[in-house]
Structure 1
Amino acid sequence: MTTLGLLRIKVLRGINLVVQDIIASDPYVIVTMGNQKVKTRFIHNNCNPQWDEELTLAINDTNLLPIILAVWDKDTLTGDDKMGDAEIDIKPYIKMMMKLLDDDDQELFREEGRVVGIVEANKKMNCLVEESCIFWKNGKMIQEMHLELRNVKSGQVQIQIEWINNPLHSKLPTFV
């Protein structure tokens, strides 16, 4: 199976995560897509952790399986507790990348810091808390997401996603 590229997910921070232990939690994030699974380190005793960690998934198909972000509480003596999850919808991001192939839209991607797309928050369609901007920065297309965790009383996670091209695959644009 040919890898089209890599998806770099920068897990920035958690906001108002639920307390799982007596006064706080020891949260970490696991991101899964199909049989791929990557995770951050855990942050001790903090319901508003700053991870600032980059996780990477190989993308073999743009008709992706769901990408699930789950927050867990690290426990030493018992099993870890799930603190909620969210689906990362990268279809709008992939659609914007495909726009790069259209010669008429190339001008969109020449201006540094330019917003090239906006994804509206929609509780039925995505886990976004607020609209999500896709922008052009340092020759890369980046999307910032502020995700609401599901299956939990409270909690949000902020992430950024970025595509890393496989130079051996020509169907997707090369960013320069």
Structure 2
Amino acid sequence: MDRRLGLLRVHVKRGINLAIRDMISSDPYAVVELGNQKVKTHVVRKDINPKWNEYLTLSISDFNVPIKLTVYDHDTFSKDDKMGDAVFDIKEFVESMRMDLIGLPGGTVVTRVQPSRQNCLAKESCISWTSEGKVYQDMVLRLRNVECGEVELSLNWIDLPGARGIW
């Protein structure tokens, strides 16, 4: 039996007010990690408010393992500079997918996750139901270990044939 439960698609939308690591700007990219999986966005040149708009996919085998996002400044002739990190978990997201939501209108907010000391949310995160019958979560993560910066994401679930699934 497949140990994977499914795939998590992370839509890395944009960075907001990221730290300056070069003279007047930065060349940021984001890395999303889960266990030994590591996926990253493209580099956006000279922009502290980059619009990545990229979909990164992780294979999920345990809902309790936190996911880490790190932003780096790309450097050509030296090691890339770290521009902050954040962690997030998908427990509330998974719990929302397990609810009986059939019949709800698209756009219905199923759950709201509040910022706290236990998460890196910059503001309330909404888990919503689409008209296509899917659950998604929008979030803005405040980067840690840096003077400023946030990253906007959206999470979606992809069921895999033969996988155990969320039930």
- TM-score (ref. length: structure 1): 0.89
Amino acid at match of 1:147: L
Q: Please give the alpha-carbon distance, in whole angstroms, between the structure 1 residues aligned to 2:88 and 2:163.
A: 24
Structure 1 residue 170, shift from structure 2 partner = 4.8
Aligned equivalent of 1:133, options 126, 130, 138: 126
Q: Please give the alpha-carbon distance, in whole angstroms, between the structure 2 residues aligned to 1:135 and 1:20.
A: 36
Higher helix share: 1
Q: Please give the alpha-carbon distance, in whole angstroms, between the structure 2 residues aligned to 1:57 and 1:79.
A: 26
Matched residue of 1:153: which SS? coil
Q: Where in structure 2 are the equivalents of 1:1-176 lying within 5 Å?
A: 1-64=2-65, 66-99=66-99, 105-107=100-102, 110-122=104-116, 124-137=117-130, 138-172=132-166
Q: Please give the alpha-carbon distance, in whole angstroms, between the structure 2 residues aligned to 1:125 and 1:25.
A: 29
Structure 1 residue 155, shift from structure 2 partner = 0.2
Matched residue of 1:84: which SS? strand
Listed as ranges, the gaps of 5+ residues in structure 1 are 100-104
- TM-score (ref. length: structure 2): 0.94
Matched residue of 1:92: which SS? helix
Q: Which runs of 4+ in 1 moved over 4 A?
A: none
Q: Please give the alpha-carbon distance, in whole angstroms, between the structure 2 residues aligned to 1:172 and 1:86.
A: 25
Matched residue of 1:3: which SS? coil
Q: Please give the alpha-carbon distance, in whole angstroms, between the structure 2 residues aligned to 1:171 and 1:28.
A: 31
CA offsets per residue over residues 73-109 of structure 1, 9 Å max, x none?
A: 000011100000000221111111222xxxxx344x6
Structure 1 residue 72, shift from structure 2 partner = 0.2
May I ask how many residue pairs the two structures share in their alignment? Answer: 165
Identity %: 48
2:29 and 2:72 in contact (8 A); partners too: yes
Q: Please give the alpha-carbon distance, in whole angstroms, between the structure 2 residues aligned to 1:116 and 1:168.
A: 28
CA offsets per residue over residues 59-78 of structure 1, 9 Å max, x none?
A: 012232x2100000000011
